Amino acid sequence: MLSTMQDVPLLISRILTHGSTVHGSSRVITWTGEGEPHRRTFAEIGARSARLAHALRDELGVEGDERVATLMWNNSEHVEAYFAIPSMGAVLHTLNLRLPAEQLVWIVNHAADRVLLVNGSLIPLLAPLLPQLPTVEHIVVAGPGDRAPLAGATARVHEYEELLDGRPDSYDWPELDERRAAAMCYTSGTTGDPKGVIYSHRSIYLHSMQVNMAESMSLTDSDTTLVVVPQFHVNAWGLPHATFMSGVNMLMPDRFLQPAPLAEMIASERPTHAAAVPTIWQGLLAELRAKPRDVSSLGQVTIGGSACPPSLMEAFDELGMRVCHAWGMTETSPLGTVARPPAHAIGTDEEFGYRVTQGRFPAGVEARLTGPGGERLPWDGESAGELEVRGPWIAGAYYNGPDAEPLRPADKFSEDGWLKTGDVGIISPEGFLTLTDRAKDVIKSGGEWISSVDLENALMSHPDVAEAAVVAVPDDKWGERPLATVVLKEGAQVGFEALRAFLSEEAGVARWQLPERWTIVETVPKTSVGKFDKKKIREAHRLGKLDVTKLA
């Protein structure tokens, strides 16, 4: 027996149409750094998204599910791309501007991006890469910035506003299969190349509904959210789509992500909600302590990407900003849990204990814990195992190239299709997750991942290094930072500064991934099968048995 309900596909174009009509007066506010912020209503965003779609189709020839990449800050033009590209049937591919150059090149080529939208201020980052990006035929530049470095590009260069000028304010958005690709992000793990995660229209639509629920971010059209989390970081945690569903105003910081301008934004524009990783809030807290501002409007702060120190929660509580902890990953769209205490704990001594967990699973995310032998563990708040999840906005595979089958590595997906998160934790009978460790040795620094294996391989390519093991150690500011444990070849005298310079200049390691902490050992401890025993290294560090040098 079938239902009598209409079968209307869940599409991003419907989110756009709803937001630009029902919530047409809501606004996207982009910080400019000087003078008045730039303001566009949702109705204007909708019209400009239609004009962008016409330009991509008619002028640049984007057809079918071709990938259109963005190398952009959080701003209104990026929001327009968020809606125009998937609504017309193409695939939005957000590029992480913090990745090393070689990873950006690999990602663009793997996705076969044909058009690339870039903010003018990021041209110095893009221009040197263009000779290695043969699939990119068109570059569209938005906003201020010197265009001169693009003069020799083989790809055609266009001005964003000129492309939109004179085109229709409406577009006949196609009726797509809701399971079709809408957007893609790449995530890097411990080893190998970055992995592509492809979100469907359906998954984004359902995820957006969950973001708007009271047990999640609980935002309405009376709110303004400061979207600090980058739009290239798992679709800005789903906020651009969710806000168009509910009419929430968006305050976009563009490239002004330093503590002082963020404090000015809050004091000037009076947002009620904000979302970012803990390091952003640590910097903002120091700024507000040094130079107080009126930030009383900001009643709710969503923190994810890495664990929020309890002391930071307490400090923001004193400022009237209530921190709400959340957990997720690129593969989970990213909403996995949100730490809103249950009703019985509110106002009691138990409340803070719930808030410092990773949070409770929503209805759309099923979770289970798996022990080392593959056994299922109970939700008793004591049994620790690897967290596995599944649901309508959880990845079931990785993108394996234009003509390849989806990739389902055994270390990331179970035989019955659950995502292995690589996180180890416990779950309470009420469904609250507390992460206790990681199954892999990825270093989570300021909400971004650092591969210990990549750092080790780079170090061991130095002519004076015999062995190198890298582990995560606690850091007050970033949550975790890498500790490099090095075995030098006999007679070698190389110093730590030279090794760090080698990583940066010869191995191409991004500056923010470079270790500050270094130690020399006679040998790296190993397991019975010859692998580096990183548990012993971490334990030695915890007990103060390593002679660690911390570089400035």
* Tokens found for residue 65: 């599910």
Cis, peptide link before residue 429, omega less than 30° from 0: no
DSSP string, 330-393: GGG-SEEEE-PPPGGGTTSTTHHHHHTS-EEPPTT-EEEEE-TTS-EE-SSSS--EEEEEESTT
Cα gap 219→238, rounded to integer Å:
13
Residue from 331, 448, 456, 480 carrying the catalytic annotation = 331
Residues 219 and 27: their CA atoms lie apart, in Å, by: 15
Q: Which amino acid is located at 313 in the chain?
A: M
Instruction: Give the DSSP H/E element, type plus range, for residue 519.
Output: strand 517-520
* Catalytic (active site) residue 187: yes
Residue located via tokens 């967990």: 357
Task: Using alpha carbons, select from 302, 300, 186, 298 the residue that is nearest to residue 239.
Answer: 302
Q: Using alpha carbons only, give the angle 81, 159, 261 rounded to the nearest 5 degrees.
A: 65
Which one is catalytic: 237, 327, 449, 478?
A: 449
Q: Could you tell me the CA-to-CA distances from 357 to 331, 340, 431 in Å, in that order?
A: 20, 9, 11
Helical packing angle, 201-211 and 12-21, nearest 10°: 50
Catalytic residue among 187, 264, 467, 549: 187
d(Cα 485, Cα 471) in Å, to the nearest integer?
8
Q: Which of 110, 105, 104, 80 is nearest to 92 (CA)?
A: 80
- Residue 248: φ, ψ to 5°: -70, 130
Q: Could you give the angle at the alpha carbon of 195 between the alpha carbons of 189 and 201, nearest 5°?
A: 125
160 closest CA partner among 120, 114, 123, 108 = 120
Q: Which two tokens stand for residue 142?
A: 């938005």
Dihedral sign computed on CA atoms, order 356, 362, 365, 370: positive
- Region of 425 (left: φ > 0; alpha: ψ -120 to 50; beta: rest) is beta
Catalytic site residue 444?
Answer: yes
Q: Tokens 């591919």 identify what position?
A: 93
Q: Which residues contact 290 (CB under 8 A, 6 or more apart)?
A: none
For the question of residue 331 being annotated catalytic, the response is yes
**Residue positions annotated with a catalytic role:** 187, 331, 444, 449
